[in-house]
Structure 1
């Protein structure tokens, strides 16, 4: 396994898959239990809970799949990083509760990993890599 050459390393795809997994599973969970998610959004005092549910599902499932496939990766990673920060602050702000603090730190840590993807791109084995020419890949 070559982990030093960004044009052939499997490390970025493994990282993308690991980051994407939490978003995809979370989105599917919201699809399977919409009432629970709407109730949680309402309990946090946020308006338009049904709209929030649809937006969250779209961001998590579509964004997670795009990240996993490496399609429009930098833009998607930036969007997911912002989503992670906003949702962490909105839903896990009771930092006196250790569980909520851990969830907030998890969201912030995910944002940090996603910002690494923004900075360094999808890497090899991505749709972004397949759609670019070899010369463009070296510049990315």
Structure 2
């Protein structure tokens, strides 16, 4: 049970950044849209909204314990990609993103544990 509590804590802590960041992108996409435009990506305003929504949905799914392994792999890849594309000249942000990627890889390898929404409702196996 202690390991499952730690896994839940890890899921929550990893997800907080993406929930806050995702809401920021959806509420005020201009800053991210400017960055995306500077990278010559198409439709930066729309892309900012899409990235924000994906971050929120992915993070909420991680906290709930839904599809934790594949979503963790996607978020790990996202963290590495943004580290190398956006944060390469910002050593602290680069290391933060790589550390987050490591956390998501651990979560992907070890799974969500038994404290997940479906398990608590009796609809999934531990």
- What TM-score results when the alignment is normalised by the length of structure 1? 0.80
Matches of 1:52 and 1:90 in 2, distance apart? 16
Q: Which residue is equivalent to 2:103? A: 113
How has the CA–CA distance of structure 1 residues 116 and 128 changed in structure 2, closer, same or farther, with 3 Å as cutoff?
farther
* Contact 1:24–1:65 (8 Å) recurs in 2: yes
Unaligned residue ranges in structure 2 (runs of 5+): none
Question: SS of the counterpart of 2:24?
Answer: helix
1:123 maps onto 2:117 in alignment: no
Q: Report the alpha carbon displacement of residue 106 of structure 1 after superposing the two structures with TM.
A: 0.4
RMSD of aligned Cα (Å): 1.6
Q: Which residue is equivalent to 1:46? A: 40
Q: Report the alpha carbon displacement of residue 37 of structure 1 after superposing the two structures with TM.
A: 1.2
Unaligned residue ranges in structure 1 (runs of 5+): 95-99
List per-residue Cα deviations over 1:101-135 (Å, max 9, x = no partner): 110110010000000010000012113645433xx
Q: Which residue is equivalent to 2:17? A: 22
Q: Give the total of aligned pairs.
A: 123
- What TM-score results when the alignment is normalised by the length of structure 2? 0.88
Q: Which residue is equivalent to 1:78? A: 73
